[in-house]
Structure 1
Amino acid sequence: MSSAQLETAYRECRRIAAEHGRTYFLATRLLAAPRRPAVHALYAFARMVDDIVDHAQHAPSEHGPAGDVDLIEKQLRTALEQGPDTVADAPVLLALTDTITRYDIAPQHFWTFLDSMRMDIPGTVHYRDRYATMAELRDYMRGSAAAIGLQLLPVLGTVVPRAEAEPAAAALGEAFQLTNFLRDVGEDLDRGRVYLPADDLTAFGVDHDLLLHCRRTGRTDQRVRRALAHLIAVNRDLYRRADPGIDLLDPRVRPAIRTASTLYAAILTEIEHRDYAIFESRAAVGVPKRLRVAATHLVLR
């Protein structure tokens, strides 16, 4: 493997991050340049797997989504054991292998992530399209979100032993993920999934049929509004629990993480400002606000 191949691989990861992760990519720009490629590689890998799971019906493969995820895990395990030359023709895996090795990231975080992704694939042993309780949903998020925070932690660096910063990093990953779930209820329904705990919804008189009705009509029932308000409060508590952990990070990366946290939490405020109209379009933070937040944290650096 040449340095040119590795540079090309990281450049492809940067392209993926810039195209698909606007908030994430903007926050990454606040990091010191040497850290950015690793963050792009971690994002690109998660995005690659997520796309396999979510868009399999539009781009069917020979092995199916479960087979594709299994193949990715096999390729990554081989690359970590035998060297990056084994994935020289797979840019994202090449950059990821280099990142894992360079920053001594525990491979287990990637196997945990892939296990959660298999929970989204019909036909697999652990497939789930609904979650009865928040505890069940958090079991899914342990791989889909908390593991992402733990993957990033060695790249960002800490001022305390890494283990002390891990609970807050995991909580922030879960906070981001739950925000995505609240923002994307309509799109997830279109895929046959609900990533909100059924018992919390039932407490407000919301069931699957009511959610489908809201999606069909594009209107948010008052019962759904109350349930969303409750879950937004739960989500904000996750951000509050994660926030002290930012001070445990290397001072040079704190502005980037605070920017990402502030912007993701602002999606919740946007949902409220739109009167919980999440079924007709996706809530998003506008470019001017994203730039203002980034500039503020950069000035306070």
Structure 2
Amino acid sequence: MTETDAGFRYCEELAATHGRTYYLATRLLPRPRRSAVHALYGFARLVDDIVDVTAVNDPAGAALQVTATERRLHAALAGDPGPADATGLVVGALAETIRRYDLPLDYFEAFVRSMRMDIPGTPEFRARYDDMPQLREYMYGSAAVIGLQLLPVFDVADIDAAAPYAAALGEAFQLTNFIRDVGEDLDRGRTYLPADTWAAFGVDVALLEHGRRTGGSPDPRVRRALAHFVALTRAEYRRAEPGLALLPDRIRPGIRTAFELYGGILDEVERSGYRVLDVRAVVPTRRRARVALTQLVRLR
């Protein structure tokens, strides 16, 4: 096994361990393209873990690690991924993916820039977002470019036509995560969903933190605000859905699976009574299997 093959294998293990819904959807993709998707996930997970783990207690160290990881990606693209540690394996697989599918490096630079917005002490840092335009600036790098990266990997015939839908789907997935992870993000000192929308329902950070501490059914004002955010996110899914028809037949079932399962997280949030401050919404295994099996039958 070559070092690049080992990198792809390591990225697949990351996806299987940390992104169950994501990984299940990729199982329906053709093997070479599946490996490329795992490499894209592996890099996003590598940087995201630095931001979510290291930055909590050592933001300066996290900023240095993110910069070092970006430099190692550039070095890997020049043929030198460095030692075969976790970072070397991931950037080696990603560099091969970028070369194979001619992916714009701007997408990855935009991703890293958004990740720096999560690290205290960096010029880009934001602990919270005042309104949706501010949040969309963050989501361009953290979510929209992920969808854009995938279009060449999926061999989409008309990338320009598909791009707005791919970006919208990336943002729909990201908004779903923001809704599901309100409580966990509070522990990291972050509030992603826009402050002006929370305020319109009488919610501030103090009320959210109180709900995080006390648990149980959230304050009615929090529930109403979350219902509004869920409706906005469902609108984003509707905006993205026509783009599924632009995907190659062999690719569409895997992305449809991700589309339905991520949307299912919103169903679980509603079913729990919007209890996201102390409980993590998860799509039941039975539903995940049913959706994947349905798309597998269509694929065959």
TM over 0.5: yes
1:273 pairs, out of 265, 271, 274, with 271
- How far apart are 1:154 and its partner, in Å? 1.1
Partner residue in 2 for 1:168: 165
1:99 pairs, out of 97, 100, 111, with 97
Which residue identity is paired with 1:47?
A: R
- How far apart are 1:79 and its partner, in Å? 2.4
Partner residue in 2 for 1:132: 130
Q: Which runs of 5+ in 2 are unaligned?
A: none
1:87 pairs, out of 61, 82, 92, with 82
Structure 1 contact 87–93 (Cα < 8 Å) conserved = no
Partner residue in 2 for 1:117: 115
- How far apart are 1:57 and its partner, in Å? 5.3
Inter-partner Cα distance in structure 2 for 1:96 and 1:87: 13
Q: 1:59 to 1:202 in 2, by over 3 A?
A: closer
- How far apart are 1:261 and its partner, in Å? 0.6
- How far apart are 1:265 and its partner, in Å? 0.4
1:25-40 superposed matches below 5 A:
25-40=23-38
Structure 2 contact 55–61 (Cα < 8 Å) conserved = no
* Residue 78, structure 1, aligned to residue 75, structure 2: yes
Deviations 1:261-294 (A, max 9, x none): 1000000010000111112210000111101001
SS at 1:275's partner residue?
coil
* Residue 183, structure 1, aligned to residue 168, structure 2: no
SS at 1:247's partner residue?
helix
Q: 1:58 to 1:125 in 2, by over 3 A?
A: closer
Partner residue in 1 for 2:18: 20
Inter-partner Cα distance in structure 2 for 1:137 and 1:74: 27
TM-score (norm 2): 0.95
The number of residue pairs the alignment matches comes to 295
Structure 1 contact 147–173 (Cα < 8 Å) conserved = yes
- How far apart are 1:86 and its partner, in Å? 3.6
Partner residue in 2 for 1:150: 148
Q: Which runs of 5+ in 1 are unaligned?
A: none
Which residue identity is paired with 2:280?
A: R
Partner residue in 2 for 1:240: 238
Inter-partner Cα distance in structure 1 for 2:222 and 2:56: 31
Which residue identity is paired with 1:291?
A: A
Partner residue in 1 for 2:49: 51
Which residue identity is paired with 1:99?
A: T
RMSD: 1.4
Structure 1 contact 204–224 (Cα < 8 Å) conserved = yes
Partner residue in 2 for 1:254: 252
Which residue identity is paired with 2:160?
A: A
Structure 1 contact 79–97 (Cα < 8 Å) conserved = yes
Inter-partner Cα distance in structure 2 for 1:7 and 1:123: 37
Inter-partner Cα distance in structure 1 for 2:56 and 2:129: 26
Structure 1 contact 14–40 (Cα < 8 Å) conserved = yes
